[in-house]
Structure 1
Amino acid sequence: MSQSSSDRIVDALRTWLATAPAGAKLPPTRQLVAQFEASPVTVQKALRALVAQGAVESRPGVGTFARAVRTVQPRDYGWQTAALGSPQHRIPRSASAALRATPNDVIALHSAYPDPELLPGRLVRAAFARAGRSEAAVSRPPAAGLPELQSWFASELGSASPAGLTPPAASDVVILPGSQGGLGTLFRTLVGAGRPLLVESPTYWGAMLAAAQVGVQLVPIPSGPDGPDPDDVDRAFAQTGARAFYAQPNFANPTGGQWSAARGDAILDIVRAHGAFLIEDDWAHDFGIASDSTPLAARDDSGHVVSLRSLTKSVSPAVRVAGLIARGPAHERILADSRAQAMYVSAALQAVALDVVTQPGWRTHLRALRPQLAARRDLLVDALREHAPAAHLDAVPRGGLHLWIRLPDDTDLPRLARDCEDAGVVVAVGDDWFPAEPAGRFLRLSYAGARPDAFPDAARAIGRALEGQGEGSRPPGRRTA
């Protein structure tokens, strides 16, 4: 990728600053414009970047000067060890692994966030511009959310409800700052510290993180491409006395599994029979490929299903907005907890989200997204089958963003991850998605990230790493994948 004009100026000035004494004055803007043959706007952009990086300081009316380099003195924070004590709940390792940033020259198959090319960038930028000129930029919204956005979430779910059922009302919706905070709220209000919560195994690591922070006791239920066995769910409710089951019926993270309508109805009947809640995480609602996401909440009007749908991945990572739909007294508890945790969600972000999803271009974007995801998924599947035959895929997911790959039982996963990274490929180790002991050796690979043209190279690297498992020592050095 060619370097922008402002980046070129930044690099040149940083080279000059490396040998300039502290307090040295940079040439005036006019001189820099002539020296770099750039516009004043480009030069100012470069100077602002250097100020943000702490390399220079600007003195209005005087000029721009090299910032003095301060010698950082080591500090002793040992006193905090006694003051803090042992952590009540340790954060799972996956919390940092899945959010890890990587250089541009690696093939990143570990992240769950879609490539910007898969997002409605034009709609989002225009929505931010309009929100900045609106009252939303300077106003405080109602605690439950903007009424128009509440109505949109309610109508989205209601449109999938069968005839004869009462669709949700806008007043049943609580707008939250992303689904992660919503999971914490749900686990506090519907489960409670020290009490059991049924979860699929494997399951979303963020749900395990939220449960750990609340102090909820997880009860794993084995789940695969078709979801959990209803008999296992029934037995777990009976044995533990749990009153809630967290699940992802559509395009689960990490397995990509989707429950059939019959299985969903069977599990919903079990939840009702035990007087329990089904916490439905509909995070992948907009990522259907071979089928659509039909929430279980659309088939329940008795308050047993609490639905959580985030727009963060499908609209933009900058728009952390989710809608939680609950009915009855549960709704009041959820709203009270969300008020205590966040008071309200930024009106500007809510306005942006509403703007994007109500534009005609939103539906056009979703129609175009489906074949894009399908092409990426199939490219990675074909590459793995050709170049890494020991990596087994139980089922090609019908939606979502990931492949769940089973490896030979004797695979050394940490070594495999290191060998892949040495070859320029970052993968997500499957152990991080199990609430108890892993049921095998797995990788979660995202086909929604950047550089899909590099998927064959990534598959070759994974194949070589698997072949090298039988060797006595690790393959030397970093190779080109």
Structure 2
Amino acid sequence: MTVAEPAPPRAPVPPLAARARGVGGSPIRDILAVTARPEVINFAGGLPAPEMFDREGIAAAFRDVLAETPEQALQYATTEGEPLLRSGLADRITSFGLPTTADDLLITTGSQQALSLLATALLEPGDTVLVESPCYLAALQVFGLAGARVVAVPGDEDGVDPEALEEAVRRERPKLLYLVPTFQNPTGRTMPTPRREAVAAVAARQGLWIIEDDPYGELRYDGTRPPWIAACPGAEDRVVLLGSFSKVMAPGLRLGWLRAPAELRRACTVAKQAADVHTATLNQLAAARYLHVLDTHVARVRAVYGERRDAMLTGLPDALPEGSTWSRPEGGMFLWVRLPESYDTTALLPRVVEQDVAYVPGAPFYATAPDPRTLRLCFVTQTPEEIAEGLRRLGRGLKV
């Protein structure tokens, strides 16, 4: 009888990079996986309403591009982006008060990629990044993967406080400040014009990059549009403006853009060459064609979303415990709620989900010291009738 030779010893594979081990996944994605049942009214996601997608208009744009320029549409493209899309987008940005040329822009695979490219171009491990409190969760992930040290700047219902910002810059010597100043995710708040000017002035005095992320700015239901921080005096050479077609056209196209000073834009272009060469040519050309009807489509979306925001604001007083407070955004997709002192929205979530409704607890949006009483509600994905029913369920789930 032959005795089998023992298997040779196997050495373990090298470990993951420290930055990959230290950053977790998105709690929002985890919540969406748990609440995917069709009977759940889901206020947790940050998803546009699928019934509002202009399926016919977008399909027509793709058909026309494939019929007229198939060789171009199906071929590799330049890393900077299709000239037709950059030119049309530059005209659109200029019409909103910020003079822009096609050469100022880099097309990205969603604005999330723009954040990653900027982290690659700007941040060394250990560099300090200043953020709002609370802050867009995916930005915290990007900065964490870059090995940055993230510091929250105190603020109020108008956003970061300029005096606190100046003090933080002097104390921390950061590389950049990340902001979503219009209809912020998660709070829905908008920074007023005087504060935008004050923040730009701090950056000019102290030598600071500002990343101004604006995925929601066109979803305004009342009030007037403030200027971008990028358009404020002193901001010309130190603000990177990010935008996206995800909320106004369709997120599945994965189309975003960044507008940056030349040297930083070139560095981001090199980083993008290494990441994916270029954003999908066909999608870019279809979006360029669709720009001609985008304003009409956005007007329809605004009307529907504004009605849904109003429905949520109307139902919140009866749904929430006495002593709760919440934001009243002029646009965007989100409301921010703060429950009374004794509540912990993370601990309460499983009981709320039992009522077939869901929210996102506020804790993951904080760089440090989360407020356990907070939660985020998305109001754009459900009809007013579904919102009313969802809030009734939420009220039952929050009863302690």
Q: Tell me: higher relative CO, structure 1 or 2? Use CA pairs within 8 A at least 6 residues apart.
A: 2
Match of residue 4 from structure 2: none
Aligned-pair RMSD on alpha carbons? Answer: 2.1
Match of residue 96 from structure 2: 160
Q: 1:204 aligns with which of 113, 128, 136?
A: 136
Instruction: State the distance in 2 between where 1:440 and 1:391 align.
Output: 15
Query: For the Cα contact (< 8 Å) 2:192–2:226, is it kept in 1?
Result: no
Match of residue 63 from structure 1: none
Query: For the Cα contact (< 8 Å) 1:227–1:257, is it kept in 2?
Result: yes
Using a 3 Å threshold, how does the CA distance of structure 1 residues 386 and 241 change in structure 2: closer, same or farther? same
1:176-215 equivalent positions in 2, closer than 5 A:
176-215=108-147
Match of residue 75 from structure 1: none
Match of residue 474 from structure 1: none
Unaligned 5+ segments in structure 1 are 1-78, 470-481
Cα deviation, residue 95, structure 1: 5.3
Match of residue 113 from structure 1: 47
Secondary structure at the aligned position of 2:240 is classed as strand
Secondary structure at the aligned position of 1:180 is classed as helix
Match of residue 16 from structure 1: none
Tell me the matched-pair count.
384
1:142 aligns with 2:78: yes
Match of residue 285 from structure 1: 217
Match of residue 230 from structure 2: 297
1:259-278 equivalent positions in 2, closer than 5 A:
259-278=191-210
Amino acid at match of 1:215: G
Structure exhibiting the larger radius of gyration computed from Cα positions: 1
Deviations 1:389-425 (A, max 9, x none): 4373343001110110111222132332111111110
Query: For the Cα contact (< 8 Å) 1:406–1:443, is it kept in 2?
Result: yes
Instruction: State the distance in 2 between where 1:112 and 1:357 align.
Output: 23
Amino acid at match of 2:79: A
Task: Calculate the TM-score normalised by the size of structure 2.
Answer: 0.90
Deviations 1:170-201 (A, max 9, x none): 11100000011111111221233210011001
Amino acid at match of 1:116: P
Amino acid at match of 1:277: W
1:441-456 equivalent positions in 2, closer than 5 A:
441-456=373-388
Instruction: State the distance in 1 between where 2:193 and 2:306 align.
Output: 23
Amino acid at match of 1:408: P
Deviations 1:332-355 (A, max 9, x none): 111111111111111001112212
Query: For the Cα contact (< 8 Å) 1:405–1:443, is it kept in 2?
Result: yes
Match of residue 389 from structure 2: 457
Match of residue 438 from structure 1: 370
Unaligned 5+ segments in structure 2 are 1-9
1:94 aligns with 2:27: yes
Deviations 1:88-115 (A, max 9, x none): 4322442523654612221010010111
- Larger mean CA deviation between 387-396 and 223-232 belongs to 387-396
Using a 3 Å threshold, how does the CA distance of structure 1 residues 402 and 434 change in structure 2: closer, same or farther? same
Cα deviation, residue 464, structure 1: 1.9
Deviations 1:245-304 (A, max 9, x none): 000111100001101110000000001111111100011022111133632223356321
Match of residue 353 from structure 1: 287
Amino acid at match of 2:80: A
Using a 3 Å threshold, how does the CA distance of structure 1 residues 363 and 93 change in structure 2: closer, same or farther? closer
Instruction: State the distance in 1 between where 2:31 and 2:273 align.
Output: 28
Secondary structure at the aligned position of 1:245 is classed as strand
Match of residue 6 from structure 2: none
Amino acid at match of 1:439: D
Match of residue 62 from structure 1: none
Query: For the Cα contact (< 8 Å) 1:391–1:405, is it kept in 2?
Result: no
Instruction: State the distance in 2 between where 1:202 and 1:96 align.
Output: 18
1:315 aligns with 2:315: no
Amino acid at match of 1:454: E
Query: For the Cα contact (< 8 Å) 1:199–1:247, is it kept in 2?
Result: yes
Secondary structure at the aligned position of 1:358 is classed as helix
Deviations 1:104-133 (A, max 9, x none): 221010010111123333222222222333
Match of residue 56 from structure 1: none
Q: 1:390 aligns with which of 305, 319, 322?
A: 322
Task: Calculate the TM-score normalised by the size of structure 1.
Answer: 0.75
Instruction: State the distance in 1 between where 2:79 and 2:258 align.
Output: 13
1:404 aligns with 2:336: yes
